[in-house]
Amino acid sequence: MNPVWLIAIPLALAFVSAFWRIVSGWALIIAAFFNAFAGVFGVIFLTATSFSIGGWKAPYGINLLVNDATKLLLPISNILFLFAVLSYLRKGEETTKYSVVFLVALASLNGILLTNDLFNLFVFLEIAGISAYLLASTGEGSDSKVASFKYLMIGSVGSLLYLLGVAILYGAAGTLNISELAARVSSGQISGDVTLVSSLLIVAGLGVESKLLPFNGWVPDVLTKSSRVATLVLASVYPLAMVYAFSKVILAVGDDRVLNLVVLLGIATVLVGEVIAFGQKSLRRTLAYSSIAQSGLAIFLVGIGSVEAVTGSIMLLINNALSKFMLFSIDDQVIDEAGRDDRDTLYGYGRKSPIVGVTFVVSALSIAGMPLFFGFRGKLNAISASFEASLAVPVLILIAAAIEVTYYFRWIFTFFKPVGTVQAPEKRILPSVEFLAFGLVLSTVIVFLGVSSGEAFTMFERAADSLVNGVLAIGKAILGGM
């Protein structure tokens, strides 16, 4: 199956539902299901890796690249998107009202994951960005509109910077194909100044979406104020695609000096994110800043650039997606039931609703990196790889990790604080069926990946290898072939 269907179907259905409002809800569901299934079955069994669009062979035309990394990330992104859509299908009209936006978002995210062309990436980034701005404004009240506006401003600046960087690179290299550019950059054909400037601009541009400091000012407000499904998509599916795009491009065309800068910015992101998250009193804000920190972790590993580091990056990325999906869902449950999510409201919530409590523990401990959970494996790789740079890197990362563990445990304790007494036992609260189902699936995946033996992890290593070395290899092949 040509993976372009993953992009085309949602886009087509988006046009359909734009004009034909009645079927818009159904269109979204159909597209989500199709993408999920196609993402899993269609992609995993692909043997060919490069698909050209419109018959133009690479590097003259746009091509879609399916390597080990995309084979891993595409299914996960699409399935999470499906879960997100299904979660609030019964309860809200959100998906029907904004179905066009969701469909376009789905299409663009798949495009970002698949594309191997810098300008194509810009297009999809713009589309994804605009969808994101619209999704961000879906929350009730005016706050979400303000948040969306801020996002719009910095997002626009970011994408312009990215375009500028791409333009400079194109001018110097004459091609927009990522693989070929990788080969040209690594062979030194392009002057150092050009790569430096273009890499810097690209980092800035992609950094906005990837939540890199200091470009991530939009994150807390957007993630806290937007509506339920939108938050789920923005917090779990978007980071997968955006950070992957960041990794793909920077590893391919990045200047070595800029990679060091990326490490620095990544660590700064982690530290700032964790420190701010530590003091937050609302669960949602804590999760928002935690998301920033997790992105920072994934990105600084990309900056280090070795296979081990990028393996850790991919693992952490996926772990973050799975866990944040559950965590934000839990937060939604709480707000649905109690209206707020500060510490007082949450006291003893885990005892009133054991399922929610257990899923919270599983996802929180996975992000905090406790053994028996998936996040621990990723963290091990991350720490191991962080010793390749200077010694200060692991020290800072571990300090941030210690802060993270502390505040996650504080939230876990809040959930399980014994508040009922023998005379007045806590009443039971049942979560929604969808939450039960998805929570169960995702928790099982996290624990399974946490305890499975090393062989299961070769898939992550292959993914990393394809990012670090594979792209370059393809590029050299193209160059050689020309």
Per CB under 8 A, contacts with another protein among 191-210 are: 193, 196-197, 200-201, 204, 208
**Hunting for tokens 């994934």 — which residue is that?**
298
Q: Is residue 9 a contact partner of residue 35, using CB atoms and an 8 Å limit?
A: yes
Site for another protein in 409-428 (CB under 8 A): 409-410, 412-414, 416-419
Q: How far is the CB of 151 from another protein (least distance, A)?
A: 9
Q: Is residue 227 a contact partner of residue 235, using CB atoms and an 8 Å limit?
A: no
Distance CA 218, CA 238 (A): 14
Of 1, 392, 398, 440, the one binding another protein (CB under 8 A) is 398
Residue 448 found at the interface with another protein (CB under 8 A): no
Report the residue number, 395 or 430, with the smaller CB distance to another protein. 395
Cα end-to-end span (Å), the chain: 27
Tokens of 228: 């339920």
Stretch that binds another protein, among 8-16, 147-155, 174-182, 297-305 (CB under 8 A): 147-155
Residue 37 found at the interface with another protein (CB under 8 A): no
Report the residue number, 111 or 205, with the smaller CB distance to another protein. 205
Tell how strand 50-52 and strand 63-65 pair up. Answer: antiparallel
Q: Decide: helix, strand or coil at residue 426.
A: coil
Q: How far is the CB of 413 from another protein (least distance, A)?
A: 4
Instruction: Say which residues have a Cβ less than 8 Å from residue 23's Cβ, sequence separation at least 6.
Output: 16, 17
Report the residue number, 88 or 162, with the smaller CB distance to another protein. 162
Site for another protein in 117-146 (CB under 8 A): none
Distances (CA, A) of 60 to 3, 116, 254, 478: 19, 12, 22, 11
Q: Decide: helix, strand or coil at residue 216.
A: coil
Of 16, 30, 53, 399, the one binding another protein (CB under 8 A) is 399
Residue 57 found at the interface with another protein (CB under 8 A): no
Q: What is the residue type of 5?
A: W
Determine the size of the site formed for another protein (CB under 8 A): 75
Q: How far is the CB of 310 from another protein (least distance, A)?
A: 13
Q: How far is the CB of 446 from another protein (least distance, A)?
A: 14
Residue 15 found at the interface with another protein (CB under 8 A): no
Site for another protein in 228-257 (CB under 8 A): 255, 257
Of 218, 349, 374, 435, the one binding another protein (CB under 8 A) is 218
Stretch that binds another protein, among 105-113, 212-220, 435-443, 471-479 (CB under 8 A): 212-220
Site for another protein in 302-361 (CB under 8 A): 308, 361
Site for another protein in 370-389 (CB under 8 A): 370-372, 376-377, 380-381, 383-384, 386-388
Number of C-beta neighbours around residue 407 at 10 A: 20
Q: Is residue 122 a contact partner of residue 163, using CB atoms and an 8 Å limit?
A: yes
Instruction: Say which residues have a Cβ less than 8 Å from residue 449's Cβ, sequence separation at least 6.
Output: 374, 377, 456
Residue 69 found at the interface with another protein (CB under 8 A): no
Q: How far is the CB of 18 from another protein (least distance, A)?
A: 29
Residue 220 found at the interface with another protein (CB under 8 A): yes
Residue 154 found at the interface with another protein (CB under 8 A): yes
Q: Is residue 112 a contact partner of residue 244, using CB atoms and an 8 Å limit?
A: yes
Q: How far is the CB of 52 from another protein (least distance, A)?
A: 35
Instruction: Say which residues have a Cβ less than 8 Å from residue 171's Cβ, sequence separation at least 6.
Output: none
Of 72, 128, 327, 403, the one binding another protein (CB under 8 A) is 403
Residue 93 found at the interface with another protein (CB under 8 A): no
342: left (phi over 0), alpha (psi -120 to 50) or beta: beta
Q: Is residue 106 a contact partner of residue 32, using CB atoms and an 8 Å limit?
A: yes
Q: How far is the CB of 406 from another protein (least distance, A)?
A: 5
Stretch that binds another protein, among 30-38, 155-163, 244-252, 321-329 (CB under 8 A): 155-163
Distances (CA, A) of 216 to 70, 273, 380, 426: 25, 10, 26, 40
Of 44, 153, 392, 437, the one binding another protein (CB under 8 A) is 153
Task: Report which of 300, 148, 125, 168 is spatially closest to residue 218, judged by C-alpha positions.
Answer: 148
Q: How far is the CB of 323 from another protein (least distance, A)?
A: 15
Q: DSSP per residue over 345-399, as a string?
A: HHTTHHHHSHHHHHHHHHHHHHHHT-TTSHHHHHHHHHHHHHTTS-THHHHHHHH
